[in-house]
Amino acid sequence: MRVFFLAVAALVVVAGAASVSVEDLEFNSWKLQHGRSYESEEEESQRKMVWLSNRKLVLEHNVLADQGLKSYRLGMNLFADMNNQELQAWFSNCLLPFNRTKTSTAATFLQQAEGAALPDAVDWRAMGYVTKVKNQGNCGSCWAFSATGALEAQMFRKTRKLEALSEQQLVDCSDLSGNQGCAGGRLQSAFEYVRSSGGLQSEASYSYEAKDGMCRFNPLNVSAICRGYKTLPSGDEYVLQKAVASIGPISASIDMSRHTFTFYSSGVYDEQYCSRSNLNHAVLIVGYGTDIHGEDYWIVKNSWGAGWGESGYIRMSRNKRNQCGIASYAVYPLV
């Protein structure tokens, strides 16, 4: 009789194990990896359905990548339980419309760059110009992260000291320059604020909070200055390449509205449906190169944490008719 009950118990265990699908195991593993928990079983069920839908998109894309039909792969990252509407709401308020009447073109740079030989590849990370990858969180402050990245690089060029600068100061204090904190901003307005205010504090002295707050700028703690900014000619990737090669990391605006960008994992991001004019995200171009398959790319630092993409970076297609608008609005600060 005891043997019988043991056999029944074993069958129950096997049946229970069989009822746990691969998808269940993957979802639970993903929740643990990203620290996800839900307030109710109903919410978890809904999130799991969204996760499964995104998983299908990722798997289908990666099958094409395995066949050599796609130059990049997707992954189930921290956004995998969010639908497209939620993702657009999360990021769509990041950039305000450009004010092209106030741009300052880089005429002097263009004259100096004419005829200059360009290196085949550049990576300013290897030369100490780039701070670690940061995370903007649930705040439309990509413009602030792009601006600080460009300022950090130019201050390093000037002082040979690399110091992370304060995005939170830009979020809290630059409203009079035309920015709206977590509700969005402009790269040019960020640089204008730093120039007019007298400087920008370090991240250590004015830490990031991913929310709007009262301005607490202390002029005695300034770590970076800005004399102004220059805007590159719109849509010209060759001029952008010259700028990246000779000046350093460049702030740029792109279209990131495709789900392929959100779930990008590795490779050269080649998205033919990207817009060159509807730009909604700010990033930092820290270099360029060409992969073993002959695909030209830009090395782009994002502000979604090191767990996204290639350790926080994405290689975006270069010389593909200004794909995703990467050269449509590129700007760098003067220090």
Q: What is the pLDDT confidence band of residue 327, given thresholds at 50, 70 and 90?
A: very high
Using an 8 Å Cβ cutoff, are 326 and 234 in contact?
Answer: no
Q: What is the pLDDT of residue 262?
A: 95
Query: Would the pLDDT of 210 be above 70?
Result: yes
Q: Is 114 exposed, middle or buried (0-12, 13-18, 19+ CB in 10 A)?
A: exposed
Query: Would the pLDDT of 254 be above 50?
Result: yes
DSSP one-letter string for 52-107: HHHHHHHHHHHHHHHTTS-SEEE---TTTTS-HHHHHHHHTTSBPPP-GGG--B-H
Q: What is the pLDDT of residue 20?
A: 76
Query: Would the pLDDT of 69 be above 90?
Result: yes
Q: What is the pLDDT of residue 19?
A: 67
Q: What is the pLDDT of residue 242?
A: 97
- Shortest CA distance to 144 belongs to which of 87, 205, 187? 187
Q: What is the pLDDT of residue 111?
A: 55
Q: Which residues are CB-neighbours of 333 under 8 A, at least 6 positions away?
A: 147, 150, 151, 154, 191, 194, 226, 227, 228, 229, 251
Q: What is the pLDDT of residue 90?
A: 78
Query: Would the pLDDT of 93 be above 90?
Result: no
Among all residues, which ones are annotated catalytic?
142, 281, 302
Alpha-carbon span 75 to 51, nearest angstrom? 12
Main-chain phi, psi angles of 152, to 5 degrees: -55, -45
Q: Which residues are CB-neighbours of 200 under 8 A, at least 6 positions away?
A: 148, 151, 165, 166, 169, 170, 194, 222, 223, 224, 225, 226
pLDDT per residue over 291-309, tens digit each? 999 999 999 999 999 999 9
Lowest-confidence segment of 61-70, 92-101, 231-240 by average pLDDT: 92-101
Query: Would the pLDDT of 12 be above 90?
Result: no
Q: What is the pLDDT of residue 56?
A: 97
Does this model's pTM top 0.95?
no
Using an 8 Å Cβ cutoff, are 102 and 196 in contact?
Answer: no
Q: Which two tokens stand for residue 324?
A: 């995703």
Give the containing element (helix H, strand E) for 153.
helix 142-159
Using an 8 Å Cβ cutoff, are 268 and 315 in contact?
Answer: yes
Average pLDDT over residues 199-204: 98
What is the distance, to the nearest Å, from the Cα of residue 171 to the centroid of all Cα atoms in its chain? 17
**Percent with pLDDT over 70 in the chain:** 89
pLDDT per residue over 120-158, tens digit each? 999 999 999 999 999 999 999 999 999 999 999 999 999
Type of residue numbered 87 = L
Using an 8 Å Cβ cutoff, are 162 and 156 in contact?
Answer: yes
Pick the more confident residue, 20 or 291: 291
Pick the more confident residue, 43 or 103: 43
Type of residue numbered 240 = L
Query: What domains are defined for the chain?
Result: 84-334 (3.90.70.10)
**Percent with pLDDT over 90 in the chain:** 84
Alpha-carbon span 106 to 114, nearest angstrom? 13
